[in-house]
Structure 1
Amino acid sequence: MKRRHFVASCGAALAWPLRPSFAAAYPDKAIKLYQGYAPGGNADAIARAVGMEMSKTLGQAVVVEAQSGAGGNIAASTVAHAKADGYTLLLATGGHAVAGALYETLTYKTVSDFEMVSTITYFPFLFAVNANAKFQSLKEIMAAAKAAPGTVSYGTAGIGSTHHLAGELFASMSGNSLLHVPYRGDAAALTALLAGDVAFIIAPPTAAMSNIEAGKLRALAVSGPQRWPGLPQVPTVAEQGVPGYDVRSWAGLMAPAGTPGPVVEQLNAAVLKALEVPAVRKRLEDMGGEVRASTPAEMKAMVSAELEKWKRVVADARIPKQ
């Protein structure tokens, strides 16, 4: 009996230092950072800007891999089921919470199957019309929708996109009925707007700004709580008669659930350091983003709140589950 206690005590004493030594050894090989959208898009650019800088701090390459499809769900599933050792990460966006609200069945749980690392950036959407459109403000669009419910159309990057639910939330909060016209990506929605096929679109600044600067489109509103510095003359949706309206997408880093706490802390520190680099900040701000890091706990609270918000939107707007 005494011998068993002695062996158990020795085992505990030997096992105790393993976690710190594991953290100290991490990372000793390349880290794979998945993002769930097409190469060259917003998510890809964010992942590469931050991942490249993180590699300098961590001493190992952070390799970005695009695993596009199903609105980011494929990449999220890959990471959720990966080994929880800190070598497989996810660049998640606002669509991660939208998917959790919209899809009937996912192969992962939106919050509990991940360790949150840090948020990276938040960015608003623009409500934009063709430069030749009759609408001069969002209030005029709301008046038209009230006069003829279901006839004012808006285009987005697709059913179930954050853009789509931003439109549904706008319709719900303004007490109007709008006609959603989904396209396959922002580029197709922009083409439709330029052709006069829809009344307005909801799109991120990076997708719309070149046409706004060229005088082909006019931005009527910004979806966030404050005016966007890139277009300071454009009022928010809330300023135009929809108080409390606030829709921003975001990007942040996640790891599989069960990733050791010291490793998550290391990754969090690497993200924070990357976001202090002026070139990285400028790159993210040029994409329309507000750079903002967080603690893992803060990110978990944010993603949980986003999930609940979009669940309410889906239920209130009676959007069919996918």
Structure 2
Amino acid sequence: MQRRTLLAGAGASVLSPLSLALSGLPGAARAAAWPERPIRVVQGFAPGGNADTIARLVSGEMARGLGQTLVVEAVAGAGGTLASAAVARAPADGYTLLLATGGHAVTGALYDKLAYQPVASFQMVSTITYFPFLLLAGPDARWRHLTDMLAAARAKPESVAYGSAGVGSTHHLAGELLARLAGVKLMHVPYKGDAAALTALLGGEVPFIVVPVTAALPHLKTGKVRALAVTGAQRWAGMPELPTVAEQGVPGYDVRSWAGWMLPAGTPAPIVERLQQETQRALQQPTVRERLEAMGGEVRASTPQEMTALVGAEVQKWTQLVAEARISRL
């Protein structure tokens, strides 16, 4: 009896932290066996776009470690809110994963009646990449630098227009934040997506637009458009000669979008931990990193807690801007 007691005690002493965590959770057996079937990966934008590409690239590598297929599905529309709503109401069992972008925080600030809370309805897993925007001037623009454009806007308020991918997009609010911090009035002209905004820029409809790096690069190579500034806090490695907005007389300006994984709130901690570890592993693979960096991104994983803090701060930032700039809520 004493020997059996000692053996039982020894067995208990070598339980893994994961096993100990599972022992105290409802549905521990299900979490221990996870994943037993393919995982649905939801993203809220058109197939073939940035979000879709990131979701497929990273989940494809994660599937190797998880031993299950990750099936990417586009639930496009309403600025990504349809996808977020679908994941928020899904079972919290680890089989529905959201590829969220910076637009998730923007819609949280702009939309009055969402079917979810942008932070509380989700369990954050990890960020994947951060990427800035470019302020891109058209072929007829007379400015060589952002400072020239801001001087023109100060001299004649609302005489300078900028295009974006649509009302309520991160691009739109990036322009509003620029106007607010620089003390100028700009006229916003919304288009239906980056392609339409670029067409308008090339056609002379607007003198500059806010656009992601990936959409701008093909046009920069032709020499028909000119980058005035990068919107992040640091210069973009792909164009190290291009100054930031902050470096050109607008201190404190920093607008970057991001992409990261979210789960429905209440997903068991061991599943969250496993997905975070697989994300880190995937982002360490040279082929994955190189492709994300080629898209203009800064590859960076995070802890769930760090991502929760990021999303909360972003929602607060954009909510304050919407109120101060008196932007109509949707």
Query: Same fold per TM (> 0.5)?
Result: yes
Amino acid at match of 2:246: A
Does the 8 Å contact 1:20/1:262 carry over to 2?
no
Does the 8 Å contact 2:140/2:204 carry over to 1?
no
Q: Give, in whole Å, the separation in 2 of the partners of 1:117 and 1:232.
A: 31
Amino acid at match of 2:179: A
Question: Equivalent residue for 1:53?
Answer: 61
Matched, 1:247 2:265: no
Q: Secondary structure at the match of 1:243?
A: coil
Q: Give, in whole Å, the separation in 2 of the partners of 1:269 and 1:21.
A: 20
1:198-224 C-alpha deviation (Å, 9 max, x unpaired): 010000001111000111110010000
Amino acid at match of 1:104: D
The unaligned stretches of length 5 or more in structure 1 are 1-14
Change (3 A) 1:75 1:18: closer
Question: Equivalent residue for 1:171?
Answer: 179
Q: Give, in whole Å, the separation in 1 of the partners of 2:143 and 2:27.
A: 61
The unaligned stretches of length 5 or more in structure 2 are 1-22
Matched, 1:130 2:135: no
Equivalent residues in 2 for 1:293-304, closer than 5 Å = 293-304=301-312
Determine which of 189, 209, 212 is the counterpart of 1:204.
212
Equivalent residues in 2 for 1:1-322, closer than 5 Å = 16=24, 20-322=28-330
Does the 8 Å contact 1:71/1:161 carry over to 2?
yes
Shift of 1:293: 0.3
Q: Give, in whole Å, the separation in 2 of the partners of 1:83 and 1:16.
A: 20
Q: Give, in whole Å, the separation in 2 of the partners of 1:40 and 1:225.
A: 28
Q: Give, in whole Å, the separation in 2 of the partners of 1:60 and 1:276.
A: 20
CA-based RMSD: 1.3
**Scaled by the length of structure 1, what TM-score is found?**
0.94
Q: Give, in whole Å, the separation in 1 of the partners of 2:170 and 2:183.
A: 20
User: How many pairs were matched up?
Assistant: 309
Does the 8 Å contact 1:51/1:62 carry over to 2?
yes
Identity %: 61
1:6-45 C-alpha deviation (Å, 9 max, x unpaired): xxxxxxxxx7586554333110000000000000000000
Q: Give, in whole Å, the separation in 1 of the partners of 2:248 and 2:27.
A: 54
Does the 8 Å contact 1:89/1:255 carry over to 2?
yes
Does the 8 Å contact 2:140/2:207 carry over to 1?
no
Does the 8 Å contact 2:25/2:268 carry over to 1?
no
Shift of 1:129: 0.5
Change (3 A) 1:17 1:146: closer
Q: Give, in whole Å, the separation in 2 of the partners of 1:63 and 1:206.
A: 24
**Scaled by the length of structure 2, what TM-score is found?**
0.92
1:289-308 C-alpha deviation (Å, 9 max, x unpaired): 00000000000000000000
Q: Secondary structure at the match of 1:125?
A: strand
1:102-127 C-alpha deviation (Å, 9 max, x unpaired): 00110000000000000000000000
Question: Equivalent residue for 1:8?
Answer: none
Shift of 1:184: 0.0
Shift of 1:227: 0.6
Q: Give, in whole Å, the separation in 2 of the partners of 1:16 and 1:140.
A: 62
Does the 8 Å contact 1:205/1:287 carry over to 2?
yes
Q: Give, in whole Å, the separation in 2 of the partners of 1:209 and 1:135.
A: 20
Amino acid at match of 2:191: Y
